[in-house]
């Protein structure tokens, strides 16, 4: 931060496309968000895949994303692969604009239907998806294996764009 930056208003949050250059930061946010983390290499591979697109949330003057969402597009449908905000960025209403912007980009690319899976009991995520218009279309018993060996169900949700 420069000396002048202390006296000027911080810029508004930005949502911008992200690529494999952000892989290490995405892996760090993912590790702080999920018990089964994905490595930097996992993110590099995913972001190099045809049809996979990502958007990052940038706060203040940071060049590093504070959150991100990744989707895979296949013809006119997409699957949200992962969404996460760094713990310090949560609970401040940033997830809705991040997801809305991403869904708009999917729509621009011709996507008509978006699918996702979410752990039953992940209230912040389920509330977020419902707010965006996703509806529950199914439930997969025992889908997620927790570190303590417990198995939790996944809700499958979908949204028509």
Ligand X SMILES: CC(C)(COP(=O)(O)OP(=O)(O)OC[C@H]1O[C@@H](n2cnc3c(N)ncnc32)[C@H](O)[C@@H]1OP(=O)(O)O)[C@@H](O)C(=O)NCCC(=O)NCCS
Is-contact 64 25, C-beta < 8 A?
A: yes
> What's the min distance (Å) between Cβ of 95 and ligand X?
3
CA 75 – CA 103 distance, rounded (Å): 15
Q: Which stretches of the chain are assigned E, i.e. beta strand?
A: 14-17, 52-58, 67-74, 77-85, 113-119, 135-145, 151-160
Among 10, 11, 48, 124, binds ligand X (CB under 6 A): 124
Is 125 among the residues that bind ligand X (CB under 6 A)?
Answer: yes
Binding piece for ligand X, criterion CB under 6 A, among 71-79, 92-100, 106-114, 143-151: 92-100
Sign, CA torsion 14/95/50/111: negative
Contacts with 96 (C-beta within 8 Å, 6 or more apart), sequence order: 128, 131, 132
Site string for ligand X, 39-58 (x = CB under 6 A): --------------------
Among 36, 112, 131, 135, binds ligand X (CB under 6 A): 131
Is 128 among the residues that bind ligand X (CB under 6 A)?
Answer: yes
Is 33 among the residues that bind ligand X (CB under 6 A)?
Answer: yes
Binding piece for ligand X, criterion CB under 6 A, among 20-28, 88-96, 106-114, 142-150: 88-96
Among 101, 122, 132, 158, binds ligand X (CB under 6 A): 122
Determine what percent of the chain falls in helix, strand and coil, rounding each to the nearest 5: 30, 35, 35
Catalytically active residues, by annotation: 117, 129
Q: Which residues of this protein are in contact with ligand X, per CB under 6 A? A: 33, 83-85, 90-96, 118, 122-125, 127-128, 131
């Amino acid at each position: 931060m420069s000396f002048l930056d202390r006296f000027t208003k911080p810029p508004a949050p930005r949502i911008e496309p992200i690529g494999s250059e952000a892989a290490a930061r995405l892996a760090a946010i993912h590790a702080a968000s999920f018990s089964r983390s994905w490595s930097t290499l996992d993110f590099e591979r995913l972001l190099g895949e045809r049809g996979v697109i990502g958007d990052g949330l940038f706060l203040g003057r940071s060049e590093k994303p504070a959150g991100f969402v990744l989707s895979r597009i296949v013809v006119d449908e997409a699957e949200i692969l992962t969404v996460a905000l760094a713990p310090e960025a949560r609970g401040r209403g940033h997830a809705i604009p991040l997801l809305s912007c991403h869904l708009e980009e999917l729509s621009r690319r011709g996507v008509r239907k978006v699918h996702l899976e979410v752990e039953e009991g992940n209230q912040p995520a389920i509330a977020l998806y419902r707010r965006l218009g996703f509806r529950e279309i199914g439930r997969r018993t025992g889908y997620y294996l927790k570190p303590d060996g417990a198995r939790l169900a996944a809700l499958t949700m979908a949204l028509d764009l």
